[in-house]
Chains A and B, each alone.
Chain A
Amino acid sequence: MLGLPTAYFLLIVAYPLANLVRMGFSRPERGRVFGEGVSLANYVEILTSELYLETLLVTFRIGLLSALCALALGLPLALYIRRAPPVLRSVIVFITIAPILISIVVRAYGWMVLLSNRGVVNSALMNLGMIDRPLRLIFNETGVVIGTAHVLLPFMVLAILGSVQTIDRALEDAAASLGARPWRVVFDVVLPLALPGIAAGTVLVFILAVGSFVTPVLLGGQLVLTLPMAAMQQFNSTFNWAFGSALVGVLLVAVMATTLLFDRVLKRRLARLAAR
């Protein structure tokens, strides 16, 4: 019984990944796609290049800010959904996840219409006399974070919702009956118990955000370079599969390391809470 899932994993996940990693260690001649032999040159070039290290930093910054924005929007929404009557709850959950049904490209163009210099937001602010010239809300990291957080918000809400729905209402009632104000009930009872869901949602959104491509390309206006974009340039623009694979390998290792670190910190925090 163990054999089939293992074979499935090896075929679907491990084999393509191993192929990618292997390709990252090859170094084809200039103008060629495939190369023989094994070389560390691609990784050395990436890890000693100011451009690619900065690109890695930008990618992580966008991932982190997108996760924090999605958390800031998703946590109150999940808490509200939990308390809403059943019918309203279903409606809000549907509205929350409905954007997933729409193409990311369409959503990105929607944001362009809203946020561009002549877009709805800037036009409204200028007509109200609140600003003299348009705010730069798009074709920079701000636009990418807004778009990415919006795209990934449903994942955050669903992750947190799964966690908060299991919290026993009696605990909140007990805290309230002992004199705790509503905000104190949320901060001292609900949030600590929702922490696994919050952590899962944050990690999930972070991972999806650092790997996203379409939203950064469209809302970054080709001006914000992230590691997936840099890898795509190598595959699609210069046909340098080896270097593109190495970039993907670096991103993969960096994301895994960050996730493991986050997991360790979270476990310590949960252990400390349990001890209280």
Chain B
Amino acid sequence: MSLSRTLTRRQTLLAGLASGVMLARPRIASAAPTEFVMGVNGGAAYRNLYNNVLRHFEARHNAKVVPVFGSGSELLNRVLAERSRPTMDCFVTFQGAWLVGKAEGVLEKVDYNKIPHIDDVHDFLKDPDGYAPFVNFGAWGIVYNKDTVRTPPRSFKALWDRAYDRKVMLGGVYHWQIHLAAFAYAWTGDQKNIDVAFDKVKELAPRLAGLYGLSSDTQSKFQQGIADIAPWYSYTAQRVRQLGVPVAFQMPEEGGFLYPSAYHAVKGTQKVELVEKLIGTFYDPELQPGLAREDGFIPSNKKTVLPAAVAAELPTMEEVQRCHHWDWALINRDEGAWLNRWNAEVRRLVRG
């Protein structure tokens, strides 16, 4: 049976017309969602992120998120390793890694004019060079177990009080550099005075309860009563509190430090527009209360209205305005030397 016998002229014309419509309107031909590979933090952080932001992003923009889990540093390392052939479209970074990514040219700029709600976002979250603005932020201050610590330390300097002997833990393998810069500021008013910070940390080290690692390790040490106080993040404290660990956040009198995170487009991705839409989804004032309630993120959109009970758990905007920014250029430049000193001089003084 030949083809000319089975297809009539009318059928051929109709098929041609249908093909033409599909070519002219590719979205009709390809209703399947666009795959969007995202580097994100795993565990409870991803679960909250998916429920509060990503599922709305997928539904609104016909995208399918494919998560790649890791810490901000691990994800940046992956992007650096894959720089000639990237496999991720975007990834989460904190401020220090973001500067490294910029210097190494592995980030793609975004068009701020295409980011929904961008005009309502705090200016300090925007990047003057045109890279992705920060979407989330919290404060780094003092987190304590409210069941075991009746009078929490009101300042970073108060961590040196004898009343808190064997109760405090500091960051170990990770986070040590931000402790040094913050303590230099607390004791001298200048993050550059790192020698003073080292001297103070060495004074405190023998009285510490231990050192902490990633968020899961810190949470575990709070849960097991290994330590009761730690300089830590307001939003991780909120996340841990949601899991039933009785911790509270104390903004230090000297002012805490702002810790924002961004979702950056990876250099070479063809989906920069989706990254812009993702950032806009984070800024949606309808979605931000969910992020604040479950993840403890302070709203980045100035127009977001939080329920009173949720707002009471977070640092106020007045407290946020008194917060400081870490000097990441200084930290990134000098942390190699600081690390050697930390390992040689501080670590061995901690008894655990």
Contacts and interface: CB of A to CB of B under 8 A. Distances in A.
A233 B339 contact: yes
Interface in A227-267: 229-230, 232-241, 243
B104 A32 contact: yes
B228 to A, nearest CB: 12
A141 B339 CA distance: 21
Contact of A118 (B173, B174, B225): B225
A51 B340 contact: yes
B56 interface: no
A47 interface: no
A31 B100 contact: yes
Interface residues of A, number: 38
A116 interface: yes
A239 B217 contact: no
Contacts of B344: 50-51
Contacts of B340: 49, 51
Interface string B339-350: 110011001101
Nearest to A232: B173
B181 to A, nearest CB: 14
Nearest to A139: B352
Nearest to B224: A116
B173 A239 contact: no
Majority-rule SS of B interface residues: helix
A222 B343 contact: no
B188 interface: no
Contacts of B224: 112-113, 116, 118
Contacts of A218: 213, 217
Nearest to A244: B77
Best-surrounded residue of B100, B336, B350 (most CB of chain A within 10 A) = B336
A145 to B, nearest CB: 15
Contact of B100 (A113, A221, A223, A239): A239
Given A51-B344, A238-B335, A221 B220 contact: no
Given A109-B220, A222-B210, A243-B336, A33 B352 contact: no
Contact of B73 (A32, A34, A109, A237): A237
B339 A238 contact: yes
A261 to B, nearest CB: 28
Nearest to A54: B344
B280 interface: no
B212 A222 contact: yes
Nearest to A235: B77
Contacts of B103: 31-32
Given A31-B103, A50-B344, A118-B225, A236 B335 contact: no
Contact of A236 (B77, B176, B220): B77
Contacts of B71: 236
A225 B343 contact: yes
A217 interface: yes
Contacts of B348: 223
A96 interface: no
Nearest to A45: B340
A222 B226 contact: no
B174 A236 contact: yes
Nearest to B104: A33
Best-surrounded residue of A109, A117, A239 (most CB of chain B within 10 A) = A239
Contacts of A109: 220
Contacts of A276: none
B121 interface: no
Best-surrounded residue of A32, A33, A49, A222 (most CB of chain B within 10 A) = A222
A49 B174 CA distance: 22
Contacts of B210: 139, 221-223
Interface of B: 71, 73-74, 76-77, 80, 97, 100, 103-104, 172-174, 176-177, 210-213, 217, 220, 224-226, 329, 332-336, 339-340, 343-344, 347-348, 350, 352
22 contacts: A30-B336, A31-B103, A31-B329, A32-B104, A50-B344, A51-B340, A51-B343, A112-B224, A116-B224, A118-B225, A138-B352, A221-B211, A221-B352, A222-B212, A223-B210, A223-B350, A225-B343, A233-B343, A234-B336, A235-B77, A237-B177, A239-B332
